[in-house]
Amino acid sequence: MAELAQDRPVSWLRMMATLLASRWRSQMVYRGSMIAEMATQGFLILTEFLELWVLLTHAPALGGFSLAEVALVYFCANLGFAIADLTGGSLDATEALVREGRLEALLVRPTSLLVQMITQELQLRRIGRVVVGLVGYPLGLALVGIDWTAAKVLLAVLAPLGGALVYFSFLMGAGGFQMIVVGARQAANAITYGGKYAGGVPGGALFTPIRVFFTFVAPALFTAWLPMAWILGIDTPAGTPSWLGWFGVPAGLLALGAATIWWRAGLRHYTGAGG
Amino acid sequence: MASNHVVEARGLSRDYIVHEGGLVRRTRRVVPALVDLDLVITAGEAVGYLGANGSGKSTTIKMLSGILVPTRGSVRVLGHDPVPERRHLTRRIGVVFGQRSQLWWDLPLKETYPILAAMHRLPGSVWRPRWDELVAGLELEGFLDTPVRQLSLGQRMRGEVAAALLHSPELVILDEPTIGLDMISKENLRRHLDEERRTRGTTILLTTHDLGDVQRLCDRMVIIDHGKLAFDGTEAQLAELTGARRMMTIDLDTPADGLVLPRGVELIDTEADGLRLNLRFERGVSAAQVLSAVQARAEVRDLSIEEPAIEDLVRHIYRRG
Ligand SMILES: Nc1ncnc2c1ncn2[C@@H]1O[C@H](COP(=O)(O)OP(=O)(O)O)[C@@H](O)[C@H]1O
Ligand SMILES: [Mg+2]
């Protein structure tokens, strides 16, 4: 891409700033309804959590976690997901782009499809979820009573970032998949939403094959359960030791690599099939 | 490749694979949408790419702009292999898909161009003067602040063309930009594209299924029929080959008794006791000449002109060729 940038006096960062600023302005047109929607989103997350809470208070095992610790896992996973959803929440909607013939218009512009989708489909209402995560996660950390060390602080910061990478990859992979198998949006998004659900509960409570799948295939359990188990010093089932929690960011990067391959394959399929 | 070849297609072909039926009795059918197209367009040409619906125009355009892989044959656009070098190519060509908007539905045009300029990484010192030029040339001033979704089709299409021209492309490809446009917008587009070509040497490739849309803009006509090249030559050659006679229907207040028609005009029939005339006239005759001949004899209430349908031209070409 170095060659591509040669005679371009405007830097990539300036371009991104312009694209995001214009998106911000165009979203602000709907300021009123957006604030209402943001509030709804926040409310939905709390409802989701209450549901989980009710379910878990009646469950025989919480995978060795107390209710407060369950809440912590939930909000940690949610913060990661919220960041991924804010930036890549539109990536899993490529099917609509293909169906409505909008993809072609995006492909005759010099900016990558990914950047165009991230910046031009950005939904500010998705900030609602981030705000809930930014409040809920530190609150959870404070309430469960942790003996803080530097390593624990570092992991507490890394966990949602790894989570964001993992969930972003799910969204992106699903988008690539939809360009190949049109009509498979539900199937493509199953990993995203299944992963989001599995990531938000203590993995020890999950059926073993599911736990193994969401650790080593679709690494959703790196987003909260494993790092929180390490920070809290809670034992995890054999095969998924809690020190794996340190590998959230690398797992996210690996997933991102795989998602990029899907995304490219999707584009290649699209240009091969002709929509 | 010769350096002044903007488009060079050799044996360019595209098949679509269509799957039909349910999961069990699924059949696979190959639709040949474009067959062995040889096409060379040199810098500065304005080419009208004509064909009936489904003849393969959009398929060709998509292969030229790098969003569709050819099944066979080769294609070069400005020296690029379009699909693998798509993003390089997008900086040098402008594409307008008549049916699919490239603008932002919720944004007014005024806010659209800074975004496109950013995507092309053009500094303000380059794109602002260019933008002013386009606003003036395509007469956009009146609706710059209106969200795109509220624009009329003609206004929107002018905005689309301005968007495709902002980065001063060497080649402009327009896929059926004139469908559904009013006469004024069509004329505005034609004039502006003509000016781009004269002042900048921009190469223009415009598809349409309506011959009338491209006659005055394009000096070269390429016709495809069922994916195959049927004609490639000048407008005059096409007219000679097909006769390309236009039809005019005139409604009158009183019958035009003693009507004398200029040479090359033929009265086919009359309707409504002589109050409606159906005339056919050749290329060399202007509509104004026909009209004034009729007006000399009666008050004209209404008229319509019909270009020869592309299907008729193709039929003529096959009969003659
Ligand atoms: N994605 C596609 N899948 C299958 N068939 C297609 C596809 N796109 C176009 N076709 C078929 O290819 C032929 C040419 O289509 P097209 O290039 O769109 O024609 P035009 O633009 O001249 O109307 C038509 O028969 C059309 O039905
Ligand atoms: Mg078409």
- % residues pLDDT > 70 (chain A): 94
Q: Which residues contact B224 (CB under 8 A, 6 or more apart)?
A: B34, B37, B49, B50, B51, B55, B56, B57, B60, B230
* B99 near A CB under 8 A: yes
Confidence at A7, pLDDT banded by 50, 70, 90? low
**Between A237 and B134, the higher pLDDT residue:** B134
Structural domain includes residue A50: yes
Residue B87, Ramachandran bin (φ over 0: left; ψ between -120 and 50: alpha; else beta): alpha
Mean pLDDT on A53-68: 73
For residue A275, pLDDT over 60 is answered with no
Confidence at A5, pLDDT banded by 50, 70, 90? very low
Mean pLDDT on B58-86: 96
Query: Which residue in A19, A101, A112 is closest to B100 by CB distance?
Result: A101
Structural domain includes residue A1: no
Beta bridge partners of B135: none
Structural domain includes residue A135: yes
- % residues pLDDT > 90 (chain A): 53
Among A55-69, A116-130, B112-126, B128-142, where is mean pLDDT lowest?
A55-69
Mean pLDDT on A31-48: 79
pLDDT, tens digit, 9 for 90 and up, residues A188-240? 888 898 999 899 888 888 889 999 999 999 999 999 999 999 999 998 888 89
Q: Say if ligand 1 is within 6 A of residue B296 CB.
A: no
What is the interface pTM, i.e. ipTM, of the complex? 0.83
Structural domain includes residue A109: yes
Q: Would you call B16 and A101 a contact, using CB atoms and an 8 Å cutoff?
A: no
Start-end of H helices in chain A: 2-5, 12-28, 31-57, 67-88, 94-99, 102-107, 113-120, 127-143, 150-180, 185-199, 208-212, 225-232, 248-273
> What's residue A255's pLDDT?
97
- % residues pLDDT > 90 (chain B): 64
Confidence at A3, pLDDT banded by 50, 70, 90? very low
> What's residue B2's pLDDT?
62
CA distance B61 to chain A (A): 11
What count of CB pairs under 8 Å joins A to B? Answer: 88
Structural domain includes residue A233: yes
How far apart are alpha carbons B49 and B51 in whole angstroms?
7
Q: Would you call B123 and A10 a contact, using CB atoms and an 8 Å cutoff?
A: yes
Question: Do the Cβ atoms of B229 and B222 come closer than 8 Å?
Answer: yes
For residue B201, pLDDT over 90 is answered with yes
For residue A148, pLDDT over 70 is answered with yes
Q: Would you call A105 and B62 a contact, using CB atoms and an 8 Å cutoff?
A: no
**Between B313 and B65, the higher pLDDT residue:** B65
**Between B272 and A160, the higher pLDDT residue:** A160
> What's residue A22's pLDDT?
87
How far apart are alpha carbons A110 and B120 in whole angstroms?
6
> What's residue A174's pLDDT?
93
Mean pLDDT on A241-266: 96
Query: Which residue in B90, B101, B111 is closest to A108 by CB distance?
Result: B90
Residue B209 CA to ligand 2 centre (angstroms): 9
Mean pLDDT on A64-75: 88
Structural domain includes residue A155: yes
Confidence at A77, pLDDT banded by 50, 70, 90? very high
Number of domains in chain A: 1
> What's residue B105's pLDDT?
87
* A260 near B CB under 8 A: no
The residue written with tokens 């367009």 in the block is: B41
Distances (CA, A) of B299 to A275, B61, B176, B252, B257: 54, 47, 37, 6, 12
Using an 8 Å CB-CB cutoff, list chain A residues near B83.
Answer: 271
For residue B20, pLDDT over 70 is answered with yes
Tokens of B287: 């509509």
For residue B213, pLDDT over 90 is answered with no
Using an 8 Å CB-CB cutoff, list chain A residues near B102.
Answer: 105, 108-109
Using an 8 Å CB-CB cutoff, list chain B residues near A102.
Answer: 100
Q: Would you call A111 and B66 a contact, using CB atoms and an 8 Å cutoff?
A: no
> What's residue B27's pLDDT?
85
Mean pLDDT of chain B: 91
* A2 near B CB under 8 A: no
How far apart are alpha carbons B243 and B129 in whole angstroms?
45
Mean pLDDT on A142-154: 93
Confidence at B33, pLDDT banded by 50, 70, 90? very high
For residue B228, pLDDT over 90 is answered with yes
Q: Which of A233-237, B68-72, B269-273 has the highest mean pLDDT?
A: B68-72
> What's residue A4's pLDDT?
45
Q: Which residues surround ligand 2, an ion (CB under 5 A)?
A: B 57-58
- CB neighbours of residue A250 within 10 Å: 13
Confidence at B236, pLDDT banded by 50, 70, 90? confident
Structural domain includes residue A60: yes
> What's residue A60's pLDDT?
57
**Between A79 and B280, the higher pLDDT residue:** A79
**b/e burial code for range A170-179 (CB count within 10 A of at least 16 → b):** bbbbbbbbbb
CA atoms within 13 A on the CB side of A11: 3
For residue A56, pLDDT over 70 is answered with no
**Between A40 and A165, the higher pLDDT residue:** A165
Q: Would you call A273 and B17 a contact, using CB atoms and an 8 Å cutoff?
A: yes
Mean pLDDT on B14-20: 89
Using an 8 Å CB-CB cutoff, list chain B residues near A13.
Answer: none
Query: Which residue in B114, B115, B120 is closest to A110 by CB distance?
Result: B120
How far apart are alpha carbons A199 and A182 in whole angstroms?
27
Structural domain includes residue A177: yes
Mean pLDDT of chain A: 88
**Between B134 and A123, the higher pLDDT residue:** B134
For residue A6, pLDDT over 80 is answered with no
How far apart are alpha carbons B223 and B242 in whole angstroms?
12
How far apart are alpha carbons A109 and A104 in whole angstroms?
9
For residue A52, pLDDT over 80 is answered with no
Question: Do the Cβ atoms of A131 and A138 come closer than 8 Å?
Answer: no
* B100 near A CB under 8 A: yes
- Domain containing A232 equals 10-20+31-269
- CB neighbours of residue A7 within 10 Å: 8
Residue A24 CA to ligand 2 centre (angstroms): 35
How far apart are alpha carbons B43 and B65 in whole angstroms?
17
Distances (CA, A) of B19 to A27, A203, B60: 41, 43, 22
Q: Which residues contact A56 (CB under 8 A, 6 or more apart)?
A: A62, A67, A70, A201
> What's residue A16's pLDDT?
92
